[in-house]
Structure 1
Amino acid sequence: MSRSFEQYQKQKLISSYFSVVLSIALVLFLLGILGLLVVNTKKMADHFKEQITISIFLKDDAKESEAEQLQKTLAMAEHTKSVSYVSKEQAAEQHSAEIGEDFQDFLGYNPLKNSIDLKLRADFVTPEEIEKIAGGLSEKTFVEEVSYDKPLVGLLSENVKKISFWILVASGIFTFIAFLLINSSIRLSIYSKRFIIKTMQMVGATKTFIRKPFIWTNVKLGMLGAVIAMAALAASLFYLDKTFPELQLFGDIEMLALLFGSVFLLGILISLVCTYFATQRFLNLRTDALYY
């Protein structure tokens, strides 16, 4: 009978520990994903910004030397990500491939212009900076027109600011929710031992002595949950890097190390704080209140 009861208590304890570890791992994993999103928000925004192309259309009488000189000047400029020359013949081939037929057969000539495609570094992709660069290029005598998607530039800059703000807000809210969820799991775990806590207190054990094993046990559970969360986070990171290699998620190793370290320390810190206050609650509880 006693052996059966001990086995029941052991299974109950394992189940309690498992639920604590699982809740900590799940919450920390979601926090890690959110942290990964925060860390890479600028990188993702920069990636989309650097896809915007400024097309510099040259006049028909523009000299080849003038086009080459402009291309070299742009290549050396601090705002340039990449620059490439597109002849009118190349442009015609690309356009024909897009529409599925050769428009030159219908028109009888090629109306397109020789052009230089310019892509800027992300820091310069703002309505003001692009307008300034485009204005300077338009002043050149051999340039016919400078074209870019103005509405897209304005919309992209505005949305990046909004997304960054709301991600920070969501991070704060989710961190608070994570604390509540882990706290609830740990409190339920300690609740089952409330009679043991009160018995130890009644025989003269100090609060520090009573709290110590509970804190150490839950800190170890927090560490285990954090390790599981980090493993799941690493697997997700490898998957995302293979799916979206252009984002270069492993480009900043120091930032990733800081993120993983933060997840691990957060697992320890939240477990420690929650266990301290949970045990303190039962230590301060009257004996007759333990049954409610």
Structure 2
Amino acid sequence: MSKSFENYQKRKLISSYFSVVLSIALVLFLLGILGLLVLNTKKMGDHFKEQITISVFLKDSAKEVEIDQMQKSLSMAEYTKKAIYVSKDEAAKQHTEELGENFQDFLGYNPLKNSIDVQLNADFVSPEQIATIAEEISGKGYVDEVSYDKPLVGLLTENIKKIGLWILIASSIFTFIAVLLINSSIRLSIYSKRFIIKTMQMVGATKTFIRRPFIINNIKLGILGAILALIALGGVLLYVNEHFKELGLFEDSTILIVLLVSVFVLGVLISFISTYFATQRFLNLRTDELYY
């Protein structure tokens, strides 16, 4: 009977530890994902901004020397990521592939113009800056027209700002919830040992002596939970990097190291603080209050 009860107690203890570790791991994993989003918000925004293209259409009278000079000057401009010359014949070929038929057959000529497609650096993608760039390019005598998607630029700029703001708000809320969840899990595990705490106190053990094994034990659980969270986070990072290489998640290793270390430290720190205050609460209770 005594052995059966002892086995039951061990299973209960293991179950309690498992629930604490699992809750810590899940919460830290979610915090890591949110941290990853926060740290890469600008990078993701820059990726979408750099898809914006300004098309510079050239007059048919433009000389080859002028076109070459134009492409070189645009390529060297600080706002340019890439400048690609597209001849009217290449443009006609692209349109034919997209439409599935050759429009020159019934028009009898190629109405398209030679152009230079300019991809901008993300820092210069805003309605005001692009308008200034377009006006500057339009001043060239051999430029016929400068075209870009104005509504898309405005919408993209506005939405990226909103997304960044909401990610910060969501991260703050989830961080607060995460602390509460980990704290609740640890408090519940200590609650089951409140009579042991009070018994040790009654036989003369100091508060520091009583707290120490609880703190050490829960820090170990916090470390284990943090390790599990880091393993899961590493798996997500590898998956995202494999399928979305353009984000370049592993290009800045410093950011990743800071994120992973922060998740680990946060797990240990929350475990320590929660355990300290949970044990302190039961140490300050009177014996008759333990039953409520």
Query: Could you say which TM-score interval applies, normalised by the shorter chain?
Result: over 0.9
What corresponds to 1:99 in structure 2?
Answer: 99
Moved more, 34-43 or 255-264: 34-43
Alpha-carbon distance between aligned partners in 1 of 2:99 and 2:181, rounded to the nearest angstrom: 55
AA partner of residue 85 (structure 1): Y
- Per the alignment, residue 281 of structure 1 pairs with 281
Distance in 1, matches of 2:254 and 2:281, equals 40
Question: Within 2, Cα distance between the matches of 1:118 and 1:165?
Answer: 30
Post-superposition offset of 1:2: 1.6
* 1:214 aligned residue: 214
Q: Distance in 1 between matches of 2:222 and 2:206?
A: 25
The aligned residue for residue 243 of structure 1 is: 243
Q: Cα RMSD over matched residues?
A: 0.7
C-alpha distance after superposition, 1:253-284 (max 9, x if no partner): 00000000000000001101111111111111
Map of 1:118-137 to 2, 5 A cutoff?
A: 118-137=118-137
User: What's the CA shift for 1:216?
Assistant: 0.8
1:183 is displaced (CA, Å) by 0.8
User: What letter matches 2:189 in structure 1?
Assistant: S
CA–CA separation in structure 1 for the residues paired with 2:287 and 2:40: 52
CA apart distance, 1:221: 0.4
In structure 1, the residue matched to 2:42 is 42
Q: Deviations over 1:148-186 (max 9, x none)?
A: 001111111111111111100100000000011111110
Residue matched to 1:200: 200
CA-to-aligned-CA distance 1:186-222 (integer Å, 9 cap, x gap): 0110011000000001111111111111011001100
Correspondence for 1:13: 13
User: Displacement of 1:6 after TM fit?
Assistant: 1.3
Q: What is the letter of the counterpart of residue 148 of structure 1?
A: Y
Per-residue deviation at 1:286?
A: 1.1
Aligned equivalent of 1:159: 159
Q: Distance in 2 between matches of 1:9 and 1:291?
A: 20
Counterpart Cα distance in 2 of 1:269 and 1:275:
10
Tell me how far 1:289 sits from its aligned partner: 1.3
2:83 corresponding residue in structure 1: 83
Secondary structure at 2:140 match in 1: coil
Residues matched between the structures, number: 292
For residues 241 and 197 of structure 1, the distance between their equivalents in structure 2, rounded to whole angstroms, comes to 49
- Aligned-pair identity in percent equals 73
Structure 1: segments with no counterpart, 5+ residues: none
Aligned equivalent of 2:3: 3
**With structure 2 as the length reference, what TM-score do the two structures score?**
0.99
TM norm structure 1 = 0.99
